Amino acid sequence: MLKTLLPSRFIVERDPDRCIQCQVCVRQCGFDVHYYDAEDDVVRARDEQCVACHRCVAYCPTDALTIRKNPLSYRDNFNWRPETIEDIIKQAETGGILLTGMGNDKSYPIYWDHLVLNASQVTNPSIDPLREPMELRTYLGRRPDSVEIDWETGRLKTSLTPLVPLEVPVMFSAISYGAISLNVHESLARAAREAGTLFNTGEGGLHRSLYQYGPNTTVQVASGRFGVHSEYLDVARMIEIKIGQGAKPGIGGHLPGEKVSAEVAKTRMIPRGTDALSPAPHHDIYSIEDLSQLIYALKEATNYTKPVSVKIAAVHNSAAIASGIVRAGADIVAIDGLRGATGAAPKMIRDNVGIPIELALASVDQRLREEGIRNRASIVCAGGIRNSADVVKAIALGADAVYIGTAALIAIGCHVCQACHTGRCSWGITTTNDYLVKRINPDIAAQRLVNLLRAWSLEIKEMLGGMGVNALESLRGNRLHLRGVGLTDTELEILGVRMAGS
Amino acid sequence: MDNATDLINRSGSTVEIDATGVYYRDLNTVLRNVCSGDVERIELRNVCGQRYIGTDLGRQVNIDIHGTPGNDLGAFMDGPRITVRGNAQDGCGNTMNEGQIVVHGHAGDITGFAMRGGKIFIRDNVGYRVGIHMKQYLSKVPWLVIGGTAQDFLGEYMAGGLLVVLGLNLKEGESHKANFIGTGMHAGVMYIRGSVAKEQLGKEVGAVELEEQDRRILGDLVGEFASHFGYDAGHILAGKFTKLVPLSLRPYGRLYAY
């Protein structure tokens, strides 16, 4: 094979005064960067394979390691940047579609950072969440257009559809077993149970050992229909039809055969080692009417006991599509934005297709209100939620709850090195390799996730209290609590937010 | 619904239900209730377009449908054995897990879509996108046998299972019309009786000669098909079959640059 012309992206620096040749780095690296040279009795590195995941740095007992960007300079060129040049080299050498992991890393505007929250001063007092109750509980699902009460018995005459209570308005995004390990699925499931929220199976089915977490599970039904059967649907709290994903709107998914281990094969119910291919569309859904048919097939299959969510990627016509989805009978619309992450996606699609979630969320909420059908479905916002302030801003823009994926994985070790698609994750997260999988201890990882949600809840309560609001419900869709900074009139108009100072 | 009992006529372990003008949701509620008892056979009369029949019944029960059931017949089905005395519409056996559907007539588009187990026998023709993404795992191998012919995208993305098209209603010298057969297929087997040109196949499938083991498997599939519809299995098996198999377990393995 020809030597690649790609320069190393990172340089591994090993301090010889500190290194004790213990080879922890050799064992910890999933990318075979570090190796022991027995002839010279020394540990060396193959820099070109390093993805800067920092596993070796974190585990080096003598702090002998650090990773630096390769300082190799190209002649300055704003148009032909190193990444662009290196992508072309890679494609010239392989002839393949550029594949990557995680979410869009490009410099599109992050509207959360152009939105600021209000706080009470003098005229209406702020609330101290340490001494007063603050309500974060959220119910997801359809509300009736009106309710009728039987005045003699005092009971409701209107029959209500099932709702899902969340103690914190943050759920874990759909990540399939296969893309991530069983240990990570278990960690998410256990954390969801402890924190009173839901985790989402993604499209790879639910391992039998996790059926016990059913009340805190959203099961996904995607175009590949992997692991979908009546027991899987019955065990869940909520069902989600996956139409699209923010990281790769409009295309399906290919779980490479290497990641289809014996247990993954069993859960997805496909032969071991075959590619798990999810077609781009559901071949039984070519229209809103067809979507409605699947929504009601799932409701029939579970005897109308569970809400059905439909997840789409945020694209140009999201508002009109969301309206169709709600009219088709969905109880929840989940919208996944431009910065939503993935275990594997073509880089060009991840980085160029879709629209920022803030704009999609605002326009969907606005459209459903204008059409008088906002009560018929909850809105879940996904794709690039980084902290509790993003959550609060999303809720003020109209979301009922949010999904977090990347943030949850960071909580259990992810360093966002964007190599999920290789299946070699040194942190044991996006891999099904038995040696690496053991690195996630569900006891510890679940606790870290619960800690994250606890911390965010406390912060959300502080922000709510500051605004003089004691229930999340009062903030939902209340855009007067937001102001824009550094935005154009058109951006402000789409976001439905006034300029700061006005 | 209030007057559900009016629809039901029970004798022994057989229940007869008159579906005239009954909304699908009500009909399925009646079926759920009926199936919670010890009934073994259900005769559904005057069925006209009601969807999702056979869904969420979760046990082996024989259902005879007289009339035309609606879309998604037996969707996510897990056990019942359905016989349709008429045609089935689109989505018959969608993501079905266990049980059997026998259609004495035609079936529409996406028949057997993402089927994971059980058996479907269609006497006549089927529509487009039939058998897409059928799967199998160990001993769980879905069967889909079509007596007539099929339209485009047959067995696309097939990930397992056995799909047979018999072409019994093709005239002398007439060939199957379907194009893009087995595009993206990466597991499972298709047996086509009658002629199929190479141009009709997806890029990821290859046509191979039948071996001894295939004859045995086909014998089982066709034997059962023939017994449902009163055909002579030997006569059908004497025809010329083509076996279609995926060229790779990983058809798109070279698509990407890592």
**Number of residue pairs across A and B with CB atoms under 8 Å?**
142
Whether residue A420 is predicted with pLDDT greater than 70 in this model: the reply is yes
Q: Could you give the C-alpha distances from B111 to B55, B129, B131, in angstroms and in order? A: 15, 8, 6
B-proximal residues of A, 257-276, CB under 8 Å: 257, 265-266, 269-271, 273-276
A-proximal residues of B, 136-165, CB under 8 Å: 136-137, 140, 153, 156-157, 159-160
Given an 8 Å threshold on Cβ–Cβ distance, is A279 in contact with B251?
no
| The pairing of beta strand B241-246 with beta strand B205-208 | antiparallel
Distance from CA of B233 to the nearest CA of A (A): 31
Which domain covers residue B239, as residue numbers?
106-246
Burial A94-113 (b: 16+ CB within 10 A, else e): eeeebbbbbbbeeeeebbbe
Q: Could you give the C-alpha distances from A206 to A75, A182, A231, in angstroms and in order? A: 51, 9, 10
Given an 8 Å threshold on Cβ–Cβ distance, is B136 in contact with A274?
no
Q: Is A458 on the interface with B (CB under 8 A)?
A: no
Whether residue B234 is predicted with pLDDT greater than 60 in this model: the reply is yes
Given an 8 Å threshold on Cβ–Cβ distance, is A275 in contact with B52?
no
| The pairing of beta strand A308-313 with beta strand A238-242 | parallel
Distance from CA of A232 to the nearest CA of B (A): 11
Bridge partners for B48 per DSSP = B68
- Which strands sit side by side in the sheet containing B187-193, from one edge to the other? B8-11, B14-18, B41-48, B62-68, B78-85, B98-103, B119-122, B143-146, B159-165, B187-193, B241-246, B205-208
Whether residue A451 is predicted with pLDDT greater than 70 in this model: the reply is yes
B116, B249, B256 ranked by CB distance to A97: nearest = B256
**Confidence at A259, pLDDT banded by 50, 70, 90:** confident
Report if residue B157 sits inside a domain: yes
Q: What is the DSSP string of B108-140?
A: -TTTTTT--SSEEEESS---SSTTTT-B-BTTB
pLDDT the model gives residue B258: 75
Report if residue B19 sits inside a domain: no
Q: A45 is written with which tokens? A: 């590195």
Whether residue A88 is predicted with pLDDT greater than 70 in this model: the reply is yes
Given an 8 Å threshold on Cβ–Cβ distance, is B258 in contact with A422?
yes
Instruction: Please count the structural domains in chain B.
Output: 1
Report if residue B173 sits inside a domain: yes
Q: In the predicted model, what is the mean pLDDT of chain A?
A: 95
B-proximal residues of A, 53-92, CB under 8 Å: 90-91
pLDDT the model gives residue A495: 98
pLDDT the model gives residue A2: 64
pLDDT the model gives residue A271: 82
Distance from CA of A297 to the nearest CA of B (A): 6
Whether residue A23 is predicted with pLDDT greater than 60 in this model: the reply is yes
What CATH number is associated with residue B166? 2.160.20.60
ipTM comes to: 0.94
Spell out which residues of chain A touch residue B31, defining contact as CB-CB under 8 Å.
Answer: none
Question: What pLDDT, in 10s, does the model give residues B47-89?
Answer: 999 999 999 998 899 999 999 999 999 999 999 999 999 999 9
**Confidence at B27, pLDDT banded by 50, 70, 90:** very high
Domains recognised in chain A with CATH numbers: 10-96 (3.30.70.20), 168-250+281-499 (3.20.20.70)
Given an 8 Å threshold on Cβ–Cβ distance, is B97 in contact with A229?
yes
Lowest mean pLDDT among A262-276, A450-464, A469-483, B137-151: A262-276
Whether residue A165 is predicted with pLDDT greater than 60 in this model: the reply is yes
**Confidence at A3, pLDDT banded by 50, 70, 90:** confident
Question: What pLDDT, in 10s, does the model give residues A32-58?
Answer: 999 999 999 999 999 999 999 999 999
**Confidence at A72, pLDDT banded by 50, 70, 90:** very high
Closest CA to A56 of A38, A30, A37, A36: A30
Residue in the block written with tokens 């569309």: A281
pLDDT the model gives residue A238: 98
Report if residue B44 sits inside a domain: no
Mean of pLDDT values over A457-481? 96
Given an 8 Å threshold on Cβ–Cβ distance, is A274 in contact with B186?
yes
Given an 8 Å threshold on Cβ–Cβ distance, is B137 in contact with A275?
no
pLDDT the model gives residue B3: 55
Whether residue B132 is predicted with pLDDT greater than 70 in this model: the reply is yes
Spell out which residues of chain A touch residue B73, defining contact as CB-CB under 8 Å.
Answer: none
